[in-house]
Amino acid sequence: VISGRTAVLAILGDPIAHARAPGLVNAALAERGCDAVLVPMHVASDGLAAAVRGLRMVRNLKGAVVTMPHKTAVVTLLDEVTPEGRQVGACNVVRREPDGRLVGTIYDGDGFIAGLARAGHGVRGRRVFLAGAGGAAAAIAFALGKEGAAVLTIHNRTAARAEGLAARVRAVWPRGEVRTGGPDAREHDVVVNATSLGMKAGDAVPLDVGSLAPGTLAAEVVISDGPTPFLAAAAERGCAIHHGRPMLVEQIGLMLDFMGA
C-alpha cells in the first residue's frame, strides 16, 4: 500500500510501455518488504536533462533505472560515475544521495555474467565470440575481461565500432586476447548475441549460423518470450542456449542494493 512514507524509484526510457523492469522491480520490493514503489517515466531525449534535474529535487526518490535510449546520455548529467560506468560509457541505474547528488553505475555486464553463472556456465578461460559493439556489448566485453575469459572476438556490423571497443577493452585487460573478426564464430566456446537483432520477428542473425559448432553455448541479450532467431538457429545446430531474461533478472537485486532500497 502506498502511503506518504513510501519511497519512490523511477525508470526513465523512451518508449517505456514495453519495459519489463517495473514488474520485476516492484515484485522484488514487495519480496524485500521494502516500502518503495518503482514508477515508469516516459522521457524523450530532449527532456532527459530537465527530468534528471527535477529528480534531484524529489527528496523521497531513492534512484532511477535508466533504459534505452538514455544510458549513454545520462552519464554527463551525473555527479559521480563508478569505474564500470566510466569504462562502458553508460549507466543503467542512478542513486540519489540525501543531498541530491546523483551517482550512476551499470550492471549489464555483471548481470549477464551472473545469469550465466546461475545456469551453471562460467566464462573463465573460455573463448567468447561477441556479436555487437553497442552499450550491452561493451558492458559484457568489460565484464568478460574482469571474469578472466581467455579470448574475446568482437564482430559488429559497423566494424570501426568493434575496433574501438576492442581497443578500450585491451587497455584494461592486457592478459586476455581481444580481437575483432567477421561473422564466423568457429573455435569459440561461448557465442553471444549482444546486438538488438531479435527484438523484431523475422530479424536476421548477426553471425554465420553455419559456423556454430554443436556443444557451443549460445547466449542472448535480447529478451523475448520465445527463442530469438539466434537461439532457434543455435538450438537447431545442437548448441546449448541461454536466454536474455536472466541478465535482467540478476540485475534487479544489484540495482535495488545500489539504490539502497
Ligand X SMILES: NC(=O)c1ccc[n+]([C@@H]2O[C@H](COP(=O)([O-])OP(=O)(O)OC[C@H]3O[C@@H](n4cnc5c(N)ncnc54)[C@H](OP(=O)(O)O)[C@@H]3O)[C@@H](O)[C@H]2O)c1
Catalytic residue list? 71
Task: Please give the residues from 147 up to 186 whose contact with ligand X meets the rule CB under 6 A.
Answer: 156-158, 161
What residue type is 178 in one-letter code?
Answer: V
Cα–Cα distance between 154 and 170 in angstroms, integer? 12
Using CB positions, name the residue nearest to ligand X. 134
Binding range to ligand X, per CB under 6 A, among 164-172, 192-200, 207-215, 225-233: 192-200
Please give the residues from 54 up to 83 whose contact with ligand X meets the rule CB under 6 A: 68
193 forms beta bridges with 131, 220
Judged by CB, which is closer to ligand X: 15, or 83? Answer: 15
- Rounded Cα distance, 215 and 23, in Å: 34
- Rounded to whole angstroms, the Cα distance separating 149 from 48 reads 36
133 touching ligand X, by CB under 6 A: yes
Binding mask 217-256 for ligand X (x = CB under 6 A): ----xxx--------------------x--xx--------
Asked whether position 216 contacts ligand X by CB under 6 A, the answer is no
Question: Which cell goes with 132?
Answer: 555487437
Q: Is 195 in the site for ligand X (CB under 6 A)?
A: yes
Q: How far is the CB of 245 from ligand X (least distance, A)?
A: 7
Q: What is the DSSP letter of 183?
A: S
3-state secondary structure of 156: coil
Give the alpha-carbon dihedral of 225, 213, 217, 65, to 10 degrees.
-60
Given the rule CB under 6 A, which residues bind ligand X?
68, 108, 111, 132-137, 156-158, 161, 195-197, 199, 206, 221-223, 244, 247-248
